Structures are given as structure tokens and as C-alpha cells.
A and B are shown apart, each in its own frame.
Chain A
Amino acid sequence: MGIEGIGARVARKEDKRFITGKGRYTDDMVVPGMKHAAFVRSPHAHATIKGIDTAAAASMPGVIAVLTGDELANDGIGSLICGWMIHSKDGSPMNMGDWRPLAQSKVRYVGDAVAIVVADTKGQARDAAEAVNVTYEELPAVTEAVDALKDGAPLIHDNAPGNLIYDWEIGDGAAADAAIASAAHVTRMQIVNNRLVPNAMEPRATLGVYDEAEDHYTCWTTSQNPHVARLVMSAFYSVAPENKLRVIAPDVGGGFGSKIYIYPEEIVCLWASKKSGVPVKWVADRTESFLTDAHGRDHVTTVELAFDANNRMTGLKVDTIANLGAYMSLFSSSVPTYLYATLLSGQYTIPAIHCNVRTVYTNTAPVDAYRGAGRPEATYLLERTVETAARELGVSPAELRRTNFIREFPYQTPVIMNYDAGDYEASLDAAMAAADWSGFAARKAEAESRGKKRGIGMSCYIEACGIAPSQAVGSLGAGVGLWESAEVRVNAVGTVEILTGSHSHGQGHETTFAQLVADRFGVPIDSVSVVHGDTDKVQMGMGTYGSRSGAVGMSAIVKALDKVEVKAKAIAAHLLEADESDIVIENGQVKVAGTDKALGWHEVALNAYTAHNLPAGMEPGLKEGAFYDPSNFTFPAGCYVCEVEVDPDTGKTEIVQFVAADDFGNIINPMIVEGQVHGGIGQGIGQALLEGTAYDRETGQLLTASYMDYTMPRADDVPSYQVSHTVTACPSNPLGIKGCGEAGAIGSPPAVMNAITDAIGNNNLTMPATPQKVWAAMRA
């Protein structure tokens, strides 16, 4: 592998600038004449706008413009859209309500943007925003999806009767019913998957610049996928045609899904820049982040899991109500459907599966993909249910899982997915060994002697990364293709630039992607640069989400490297007077195998550009591009074991051990992969123990709108993790890699909850398992 090649623990090239505070984020961008924006936001969860008086605000010091939704509409700026069409089971298309970038007739959640103020300073913009006088007529609000479906609930969008967006199903309902009817045992549960606020360290920000001389727009923004942002802003919002709109996503401080979507602010700032004649910057404060970043999860589900007399699963029936908030965010419709219900087979052979999903409007922030996106919801549902079934059936949780594991691959589930490779028993064995599962009883007894209740729980997850192929997702309703692009430019001196449509916002692409080149051509990673995040520099790309940069983005790079290698070998063969098939590239040398005839990599590159002596008919240069469209998802899987101690006096849970055994296929940089697992588990522990989003059910006010009330995981909330890997290579991509970005957040919540409920002997506990809730559950 070489010291910097595939499989090497190379330190992250990008960390020097990050840890010395030298990263360049959107808020660091300064352009001549730049002014600052503040948004006027609805203080009400649901209200009719009776009038907007901007006169007082417009006359305040430093104010350049105060603009409203009517002016935006008059200029032909379009509404925000959801880019994945889902049809209800009766064949009707989803009921997508109108989402104006600046609300006109009605506001639908606290934080809904109503007007923008542009001023010389941020403080002046805020002062003036407070002086914009909006007359509201308040309407009753509803925040819980279950409530929003009830008769008489406030109607949020006129074209979504009963607040229902779609009523969708997958699988064979009759077969699942039959399995349940004839089952030897059925485990039934009510499962709530708690709503989460993403809380990226860097708040959302945008800088919109309109250049009147060129009639050209530039948008700096905190985006995980700048090309998609440009596409959507051009095609649907009519901000500008693509060739006149440059989108740049520079360093981005975390996304976790929340920066996939196009939000009102970047559209409005671009438009406001043209309208007011000045560049317009907006940076969210933390309160705006809480109120308006797309939230995650928020499912309420009933589940029935049927077993035969041999404890084999025979059927699964799931009924889910998912809260999508006040508007349909860009990919919101796909999360509780194709990213969720298609994973309900888990690691198990379940002959009959049926899932029904109703998605619902409420007067809350829009809900969309958040680290894991649908797969955490599926995994939590299944793994809590399987653990509960083991307790009801009186068998060990490991044995019940072993009895039902899928062991033959490829495996076609009843819910679309075709699992290509895996060895679930291997990860289960690895995790149980690392956790010293068999020694638990002694540890429990020892904890008892200290007055602590100790519990152990496991979770066997599967997830799907690199959502694909484009043709298939298109047939399921996706508005975009899900391929990735790459261009490899070898410079005349042999240094290499990789242009990628993937976007790094913490993932370490500048290092891992460079490792591919180091591995292939034997050049040091310092001579490899990764270029991303700028639509003027990089060819069309699809961005980073769904753990796709490895399996899809790197595969595109490999395809381009293949082409470069072929051309480099042809040049070398010509110069060395050898046959192309005898040329090998080793340690930065392009050699004739078995001889000492060799050229330096840089010599081949230079020859490609001098073009003094190339094979007949060959074009000069050494630069190749590729698009890669996967033939299947990849299916990372693994087993997590969590051990907790609960203080019976206070209900406080301490995680005393956490073991992860993941199968991510082949690994490029184990250190970066471990970092992803650590971060993912941290977020999963956050969901399980700490993070609960609460809206006031009457007023629709977000009660957890700051870190005083929303509990983010801190260093002392999480343990040291024991992380290990088993490997089954992914057969569908050239590197045999899967995806690791979300697994930790997907697999860990059920392990934590299974451990706590084991410790306290009460299975009736919802996330987050706060000390108060655990204490109450111990007394129930």
C-alpha cells in the first residue's frame, strides 16, 4: 500500500488550516462594497399576513433596502421545491404546498422568512429588521404529526387536505398479515424516533454578488453540493441561468445533511444583491440555525414482528407517521420512504414485509435528511423490536439474531434492496468478543455492589450508501441522477490535480482522494491537490451526502485514473520502445517490467505536454475525466454493543463500554474511517441519551432553541470507543468500498436503548433517555 497509499493511516492534509483557525468559510469571504442582511422572521407558528409596513425600517441608519415577498414574486423568483416525487398508494402525486422564499400571504412556522433588510452593518440590519412592522392574524398551530392528521386540525396548506402529503406503501400487505395471523409469536411495539436539530458547528451563511456589467451572479454558500444548488436555483427558482450563476462552497464546517438543501436565504440574497446593487452577506446566528435548519427524524411508528415456532421471522408490518414540518424540503419525501422502508429487512431473512408511511405537514421547521436519513429510523425500529422479541421469547438477543441472519448473497429482500455482500455473523462475533459479552454477568454483579444497575444491549445494523443507479432512482421519483464525476489533471511537472464533484465538509477528501493517486502513480500526496466546491472550476457533480463520496466519488476518480494510466503507459511505451502491456508504474517510475528501463513519472508528464515525441495520432496533454454511475447501492453493516450503568437514585446513565464492529468493505484511510465512526456514534449517543427537540404544542414555539435547553453531546457524555472492522469487499465498485459516514449514527441508538432498558427492567422508554425519564421508568 505504500506509506501514503490505499490502507495507510495518513494524517489529514486539511487539518493544519482547520486546527490553526485558517480555514476559509463563507463568513470569511469579503468582497468590495459588501453589505449585510438580516431576515424578518415570523414569531408565530401559523398566521395570516395582513400587511407589511417597511417604511420605518427603510429610514433607519445604514439601511439600503427592505424587500418583501411580493417584490420577489413580481421579479419572477420561483418557489422552493422538493426534488423527489412520491406517489400515494392510490396513484396520486404527493401534495406539495407552496414554499415562497419570502412568505406572502401566510407564515407556517416560527422562523419563516418574511422580509430581508440590507444595511451597512449587521447590527443596523438587525435593528431595522425589528422595525419592519408585520401585521399577523394568528391561526391555531399544530406541531405533532399525529395531531396534524386528526379531524379538525389546523390546515397548513390548502392543497394538502388533512395535512397529508402522501400515504405510501411498500411490500406485500396481505402476506405480512397472513404471517402475523399464523405466527407462533408476535412482538408489537410503538416506536418514536425523536426529532433532532442538526447543529453543524458552522451556521449556514451565504454571500450573494450580482455583477451588473456581466449580468452574472456569484453565490458563496455553506453547501454540501454546490452544483445541485446551482441547478436548482437556475431551473426552479429562476434566479439566473446556469452559465450566469457561479456557486462556491468553500470550507464548510459540518453539514450532517442540513446543508444539502437549498434554503430561502441564498436565493433571496442573490436576488437582493441585484435589487439593491450591493453584494449581500447573511450569516445565521445560532437561534436562526435552531429555528430554520432542516431538522431530522420525527417518526411515530407501530410495528408487528411475527415469528414461527423455531423463532424464525416470518413477517414484519410497519405503520409510520412522519413529520415533514411546514414545507417539503429538497429531499424530504425520499427520507421516510426509499431511504427508510427499503432497509426494514435489516440483516434478517423476513419473507413478508409491509410498510405504510404517511407524511404530514405541521407548523414546525422543515424535516429532511440528517446523518443516516431514514436508515437510523429503520434500524432503531427493527433492532429495538428484535431485542424486545428476544426478551419475550426467552432467548439471548445474539441467538435470535443468528437464527435469522441472511447468509447467502446476493440476497433480494421483499423491499427492493438487493444485498450484494456481507458476513453478519462475523461482525456479531467480533463485537461480542471485544465486549467480553460472556463476562457481563460478573460485571453486573460488581456494579450491583456499588448500587448501580448495569445493562448490556446490541444492535445489528445494515444501511445503504451511494444511492444508485441513476436510472433506478429516477424510476422511483428522484429528480436528479446520483452518479459522480471526476477529472484528473496531471500537470507538466507531474503534480496532480483531482477535480471532484464530491464536497468535503469534514470528511477528509483532500487526504483520502490524494491517497488514491499516491497509490496508483507512486507520487507523494503533497503533490496531489483536490479541487472541489466551485462550479466554475469543477465539472458537474452531485455532492456529498448519504456516505457517497467514497463509493461513488472515489470510483469516478478511479475511472479517470484508469484513463490517465493508459495514456501514460502508451507514452512511456513509445519513449522506451516497449510494448504497452509490459509497462508498469511503481514508486513514481514508469518502467518496462523486468528491466531497468524506466522514466520518472514527471518525465512522462512533461513529454505529454511538450508533445515533441508522442505516439502517432495521440493528443497532447495528460488529463482525463470520468462519470461513474454505480450499478447498486453499497451495504455497510455491523454490530454495536453498548454497556451502561444507571444510577437508580437520579436515573443518570453512564455508557461504560461501547464496541463497534463494522464492515465497510475495503478501507482507504483507517484513521479517517475510525474518526467517522467515532463521530457517528457520538451523534447516535446524542440522539439516544441527550437530544430532544421540543415545540410547545399550543403555540408552536421551539422550546429547545439554544444550548441551554438542547443537549448536545460533550466529551464527558461519551466513552472511549472500541472500534474494529471486518471486511467483505463491495462487488459493485472498483475499490470494493462501502460507506462509513453514517453507520455510527445508524447503529448506535438502539444499542444504547437496549442496554438501558436491560439495566432498568422496563422496556417502555423513549429517546432521549434523559435522567428524568429513566428515573420515572424505574418507578413505573
Chain B
Amino acid sequence: MYETTYHRAGSVEEAVKLMGEADGGKFVAGGQTLIPTMKQRLAAPDSLIDLRHIADLKGISVDGANVRIGAGTTHYDVANSADLKAVCPGLCSLASHIGDPQVRHMGTIGGSISNNDPAADYPSAMLALGATIHTSKRDIAADDFFTGMFETALDEDEIVTAVSFTAPDACAYSKFPNPASRYAMAGVFVAKGGNGVRVGVTGAGNDGVYRWSDAEAALSSDFSAGALDGLSVDAGDMMEDLHGTADYRANLVKVMAKRAVASAG
């Protein structure tokens, strides 16, 4: 790791101010991506601005079907929230399968969606749930937030503060993990709610997380795994790497989508 200067922010405002003063600073929350990257000397921020001690960023509130999750909430807390489980168990299940226990106790939902790793789990759920991403500057619809692999609508000095969404009637997430990293090779979040059926796909697309509109249309008229039988995923839109060809990923997207629908009931 190269030398860096650590700052602990006590509020969102202070964090933004510290970022303004830094020359190439980075916000760090759980640090589950940034810290290993720095250890490998692949990132060298001159300042690290730690968001973990900002109380306002933590916590889950559920009011009827209205859900709000603070950006600093750990995967462990999302996975184990009884309130959330009662209205949106699919998201709890997703969080419970991120990384390993150590990762889940450190990593945060805000960090995950801000990083927008193309194989991260949460972005697919944000799209499928039609979530709103609240930041230090504004509210952004999930559809507008994720703009490509590791790319988001965030400005450099903008901090995700929370996500909110209306709990769906039914939802589930199914992923096929990369055998080595256990990130998603294909992860599909399916949600059926007031605004129809939405399907978010992560780990597979060659431009990062996306919505599978053909599946959404098919499931809107028939919410069953069988409704997807006739669909195919275009391998030309898929990522290809050491672990999975585009053809294989296209297959996995469909298989995981069917499993998610079956498990959402």
C-alpha cells in the first residue's frame, strides 16, 4: 500500500468538505474493494475519508411497504433485519450470500452500489426494486444511477446516504457464483410489485448491471418460471472471461432468472 492520509468524518457534510480539500481522495465505507485494491498498489488515493462513523448513514426503517436503508448499513444487518425480512425477504437473502461473514460484517450497501462492480449483487436488486438512491446532493432513480461497469451517476464529491423503495409483493434473488471469487457470474433479482415485474441482472452483462426487459414482459403476463422458457439471452450482450464464455453466461442468466421466479413464488 502506498502512503495515504486517513480522515474520519463525523458527518456527511464534513466528509464532503474533506473530499474538497483532498487531492485525489477516496471515500471508504466497508473498504471491501478499496482496501484490497490499495494493498495491491492498484489504487493510491492521497486521502481516505472514512464514512463508517457517521451515525446518520446507518439503519433500516420499514414503515408499511416503505423501506429505507442507510448507506452505511452492513450486509450482515440487511441480511438479519426482521423488519426487512417481513416485507422484502429477497433482499435479506441476497445480502446473506455476499462474500463471507467477515465481508458481511464490514461491507455496506452504499459502498457496494457506489462501486458498481459488474459482478456485485446489490445493483441488480436496486434496479429490480425500482429503488431511489439518496445522495448528499439529490435523489436518483436506480435506472439512472448505474451507468456502466464501475460507473455511476455520482459526482466525485457526492455520497450515497440511503436507498429507499416500496416493498414488492414478491421477490427473490438467485445467483451462480464464480467458483474462485464467489462474486456473481450471473445474479438475477426478480421483483413483482405495484409497478409490474422488474428483473435486474448482474455479473453477466458486458456493460454491467441491466434490466432484462423481455423477461419483465413475459413475467408481467405470467409470473412463473415457465414463462421464461421461450426466451433467449443474446450472448452478444454478455461478458466473457476465463470463468465463463458469453454463451455460458447467457444460459446462466436464464437459469438464474427461472430459479429466482420459482423461489419468489
Q: Mark A112-142, 1 if CB is under 8 A from B, else 0.
A: 0000000000010011001000000000000
Which residues of A lie under 8 Å from residue B255 when comparing CB positions? 649-650
Q: Mark A201-233, 1 if CB is under 8 A from B, else 0.
A: 000000000000000000000000000000000
Which residues of B lie under 8 Å from residue A770 when comparing CB positions? 179, 243
Residue contact B248 to A776, C-beta cutoff 8 Å: yes
Is A704 among interface residues, defined by CB-CB distance under 8 A? Answer: yes
Is A710 among interface residues, defined by CB-CB distance under 8 A? Answer: yes
A760 CB to nearest chain B CB (Å): 15
Size bin of chain B's contact surface: 10 to 19
Given contacts A127-B2, A709-B242, contact A772 B248 (CB under 8 A): yes
A751 CB to nearest chain B CB (Å): 20
Which residues of A lie under 8 Å from residue B243 when comparing CB positions? 709, 770, 772
Is B55 among interface residues, defined by CB-CB distance under 8 A? Answer: no
Most A CB within 10 A of own CB, among B1, B40, B242, B245: B242
A474 CB to nearest chain B CB (Å): 43
Residue contact B251 to A775, C-beta cutoff 8 Å: yes
Most A CB within 10 A of own CB, among B41, B243, B245: B243
In the complex, A651→B243 CA distance in Å? Answer: 13
Is A404 among interface residues, defined by CB-CB distance under 8 A? Answer: no
Residue contact A690 to B248, C-beta cutoff 8 Å: no
Residue contact A703 to B242, C-beta cutoff 8 Å: yes
Partner of A711, one of B40, B41, B179, B244: B179
Is B252 among interface residues, defined by CB-CB distance under 8 A? Answer: yes
In the complex, A712→B15 CA distance in Å? Answer: 39
Is A694 among interface residues, defined by CB-CB distance under 8 A? Answer: yes
Is A707 among interface residues, defined by CB-CB distance under 8 A? Answer: yes
Given contacts A123-B1, A127-B2, A650-B255, contact A772 B180 (CB under 8 A): no
A329 CB to nearest chain B CB (Å): 26
Q: Mark A698-718, 1 if CB is under 8 A from B, else 0.
A: 000001100111111000000
Is A771 among interface residues, defined by CB-CB distance under 8 A? Answer: yes
In the complex, A157→B247 CA distance in Å? Answer: 41
A360 CB to nearest chain B CB (Å): 24
Residue contact B244 to A772, C-beta cutoff 8 Å: yes
Is A59 among interface residues, defined by CB-CB distance under 8 A? Answer: no
Within 8 A of B (CB), among A751-770: 770
Residue contact B242 to A775, C-beta cutoff 8 Å: no
Q: Mark B226-244, 1 if CB is under 8 A from A, else 0.
A: 0000000000000000111
Is A287 among interface residues, defined by CB-CB distance under 8 A? Answer: yes
A143 CB to nearest chain B CB (Å): 14
Which residues of B lie under 8 Å from residue A694 when comparing CB positions? 242
A703 CB to nearest chain B CB (Å): 6
In the complex, A123→B3 CA distance in Å? Answer: 8
Residue contact B1 to A709, C-beta cutoff 8 Å: no
B34 CB to nearest chain A CB (Å): 15
Which residues of B lie under 8 Å from residue A707 when comparing CB positions? 180-181
Which residues of B lie under 8 Å from residue A709 when comparing CB positions? 180-181, 242-243
B169 CB to nearest chain A CB (Å): 27
Residue contact B181 to A771, C-beta cutoff 8 Å: no
In the complex, A127→B3 CA distance in Å? Answer: 10
Is B176 among interface residues, defined by CB-CB distance under 8 A? Answer: yes
Which residues of B lie under 8 Å from residue A776 when comparing CB positions? 245, 247-248
Which residues of B lie under 8 Å from residue A712 when comparing CB positions? 180
Residue contact A710 to B1, C-beta cutoff 8 Å: no
A121 CB to nearest chain B CB (Å): 11
| 14 A–B contacts from the bound complex (CB under 8 Å) | A123-B2, A127-B2, A130-B41, A287-B40, A649-B255, A652-B176, A703-B242, A704-B242, A709-B243, A711-B179, A770-B179, A771-B179, A772-B243, A772-B245
